[in-house]
Chain A
Amino acid sequence: MAEIPILKIGDCLLVSIQVDMHDRLAMALQDDLTQRIVQDRARGVMIDISALEIVDSFIGRMLNNIAAMSRVLDAVTVVVGMRPAVAITLVELGLTLSGVRTALNVDKGLAMIRTIIDRGEQEDDRRGG
């Protein structure tokens, strides 16, 4: 069974979803990611869905789950590359993806993760006094 490759870019993990996912693959991805976040001490997770022509509620739940798990592990999740037709459909479907940050592409996604991490560290420094 094909696995979804997880790449490391600095302190971020990049996942590119290229295939029509079925349940086992989605479960495997969530497991792999959680392990890798811990293993690589990742601060950011970027999920590239630019190859996805469809995002249904199953994939939506998976994205929400990944975001929730990363948050617990102190990593920021950004979903990038959503296609316009998919965005329009998701909105009509009523799928809010409220727990997930989104950016237009990988570059902007990395920039967003950087900004959030830096802001968080500034906050920590401030509190540390």
Chain B
Amino acid sequence: MIVEADETMPVRSSDDVVRARQAVRAKAVAAGFSLVDQTKIITAASEIARNTVDYGGGGTLRIEVLRNGQRRGVRLTFKDQGPGIADISQAMTDGYTSGQGLGLGLSGARRLVNEFAITSTPGQGTEVTLARWK
């Protein structure tokens, strides 16, 4: 697997979330994604970016454009040193009906991508990796 592009940026404020979306769009377009695929990965990025700002105390986003044979993909890695998530499986259940909270962000984002991984240690931080392939 080849990494064709690699960019890291801060995700600490509301403005950063907007910038993150624009950066992910640029990479998705470069990877040749269809409009719907672009929309999905940017929306997923927006969800996790907001979580990183709102719950993770701010962090970083690394965007990679990957090539595996003929297929190309975009991989996003969000990292923060925030309070972490104690019960990941609970956080991943659709919390939207309760209106607030992490719920829809994580589980929703997962539905929009092909690969999703999350690790978190309470008190140390959280890392979420998402990837979508063309």
The residues of A with any CB-CB pair to B shorter than 8 Å are 20, 22-24, 53-58, 61, 84-86, 88-89, 92-96
CA distance A90 to B47 in the complex (A): 12
For B, the interface residue count at a CB cutoff of 8 angstroms equals 27
Given contacts A56-B46, A56-B50, A94 and B94 within 8 Å (CB-CB)? yes
Given contacts A58-B50, A85-B39, 7 further A-B contacts (CB under 8 A): A22-B18, A54-B39, A58-B46, A85-B36, A86-B39, A89-B36, A89-B43
B47 and A53 form a contact (CB under 8 A): no
Given contacts A20-B18, A55-B43, A56-B43, contact A94 B99 (CB under 8 A): no
Q: Is B87 an interface residue (CB 8 A)?
A: no
Residue contact A53 to B94, C-beta cutoff 8 Å: no
A93 adjacent to B99 (CB under 8 Å) = no
A residues less than 8 Å from B94 (CB atoms) = 94
Bound CA–CA A58/B108 (angstroms): 12
Question: Is B104 in contact with A23, judged by CB distance below 8 angstroms?
Answer: no
Q: Is the CB of B39 within 8 A of A88?
A: yes
A57 to B96, Cβ gap below 8 A?
yes
In angstroms, how far is the closest chain B Cβ from the Cβ of A99? 11
Cα A88 to Cα B39 with chains together (Å): 9
B58 touches A (CB below 8 Å): no
Name 28 interchain pairs, CB-CB below 8 A, sorted by A.
A53-B39, A54-B39, A54-B42, A56-B43, A56-B46, A56-B50, A57-B96, A57-B104, A57-B105, A58-B46, A84-B36, A85-B36, A86-B39, A88-B36, A89-B36, A89-B39, A89-B43, A92-B111, A93-B108, A93-B109, A93-B111, A93-B112, A94-B94, A94-B104, A94-B108, A95-B96, A95-B108, A96-B96
Total residue contacts A-B, CB cutoff 8 A: 63
3 smallest beta-carbon distances between A and B, as pairs: A22-B14, A56-B46, A85-B39
**Which residues of B are at the interface with A, using a C-beta cutoff of 8 A?**
14-15, 17-18, 21-22, 25, 35-36, 38-40, 42-43, 46-47, 50, 94, 96, 99, 104-105, 107-109, 111-112
> Which residues of A lie under 8 Å from residue B50 when comparing CB positions?
56, 58
